[in-house]
């Protein structure tokens, strides 16, 4: 199994915190090897194509932006 790089883009708002929590819970539920990075630098958002936060990128590809999916939905995205 290869390690997944998970990046949560946001400024630290409550939705960003919730996306981080849900992402971690989904990855742990799937027993993934993962690195979770919180990206708070607004200039980095545009570099990754993120226009609306919170956002989640998996291995460099943005998979969700502007909302907080449930743990189950995130598990489907990560699985």
- Active-site pick, 5, 12, 13, 37: 13
Residue 16 designated active-site = yes
- Active-site pick, 8, 16, 57, 58: 16
CA 74 to CA 7: how far, in whole Å? 13
Task: From 31, 33, 30, 28, select the one nearest 4 (Cα to Cα).
Answer: 33
Do 22 and 70 meet the contact criterion of CB atoms below 8 Å apart?
yes
Q: Which residues, in sequence order, are CB contacts of 40 under 8 Å at separation 6+?
A: 10, 11, 12
Residues catalogued as catalytic: 13, 16
């Amino acid at each position: 199994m290869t390690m997944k790089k998970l990046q949560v883009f946001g400024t630290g708002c409550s939705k960003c915190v919730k996306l981080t929590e849900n992402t971690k819970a989904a990855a742990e539920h799937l027993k993934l090897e993962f690195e979770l990075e919180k990206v708070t630098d607004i200039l980095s958002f545009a570099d990754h194509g993120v226009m609306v936060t919170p956002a989640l990128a998996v291995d460099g590809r943005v998979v969700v932006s502007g909302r907080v999916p449930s743990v189950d939905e995130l598990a489907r995205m990560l699985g």
